[in-house]
């Protein structure tokens, strides 16, 4: 009887340990933001796009055009058990350029500077709503124009 109790107690302790370990927060880091020391090496109005590429590297995201601004983004996500991942930290460094490819401005934004952007789904209405597959197939038989078959 004592052996049975020890097994149950050991199994219960193992289950509690697994449950506690499963509920610890997991952190994931995404992206890259250059350190402040590297950003201080850049001089606004003097350095060019090529200098930025040499000093801190090309970003993973740039402006919409091929000659667009540079954006460096780093996010830290927290996952806690079965809950949805939550962004706990985000940093964005934006480097804008003049038409002659010299640096116009270097800006740093944090999560507190951001605004929520609501995403909308744009859905095209379909005329087949409420029609089953067979109704769509047989509904086309009456739309055939015999004069166009032999042209």
pLDDT digits (tens, 9 = 90+) for 97-144: 998 989 999 988 888 876 655 545 555 555 656 677 777 777 776 677
Looking at per-residue pLDDT, the higher value among 16 and 49 belongs to 49
Compute the distance between CA of residue 124 and CA of residue 36 in angstroms, rounded to an integer. 47
Looking at per-residue pLDDT, the higher value among 17 and 39 belongs to 39
Looking at per-residue pLDDT, the higher value among 146 and 120 belongs to 146
Compute the distance between CA of residue 9 and CA of residue 5 in angstroms, rounded to an integer. 6
Contact 97, 49 (CB under 8 A): yes
Per-residue pLDDT at 117: 52
Concatenated DSSP letters of 39-80: HHT--TTT-BHHHHHHHT---SEE-SSTT--EEEEEEEEEEE
Structure token digits, residue 86: 């939550």
Per-residue pLDDT at 119: 46
Every domain of the chain and the residues it spans:
25-115
Mean pLDDT, all residues of the chain: 79
- Indicate the pTM of the whole model: 0.60
Per-residue pLDDT at 21: 66
pLDDT digits (tens, 9 = 90+) for 52-61: 989 998 887 6
| Element holding 14 (H helix, E strand) | helix 2-22
């Amino acid at each position: 009887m004592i052996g049975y109790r020890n097994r149950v107690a050991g199994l219960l302790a193992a289950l509690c340990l697994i449950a506690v370990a499963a509920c610890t927060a997991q952190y994931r880091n995404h992206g890259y933001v250059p350190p402040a020391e590297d950003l201080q090496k850049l001089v606004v109005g003097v350095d060019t796009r090529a200098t930025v590429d040499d000093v801190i590297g090309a970003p993973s995201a740039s402006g919409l055009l091929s000659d667009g601004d540079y954006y460096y983004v780093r996010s830290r996500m927290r996952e806690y058990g079965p809950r949805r991942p939550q962004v706990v930290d985000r940093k964005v460094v934006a480097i804008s350029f003049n038409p002659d490819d010299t640096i116009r401005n270097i800006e740093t934004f944090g999560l507190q500077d951001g605004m929520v952007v609501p995403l909308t789904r744009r859905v095209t209405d379909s005329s087949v709503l409420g029609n089953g597959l067979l109704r769509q197939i047989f509904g086309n038989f009456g739309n055939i124009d015999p004069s166009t078959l032999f042209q």
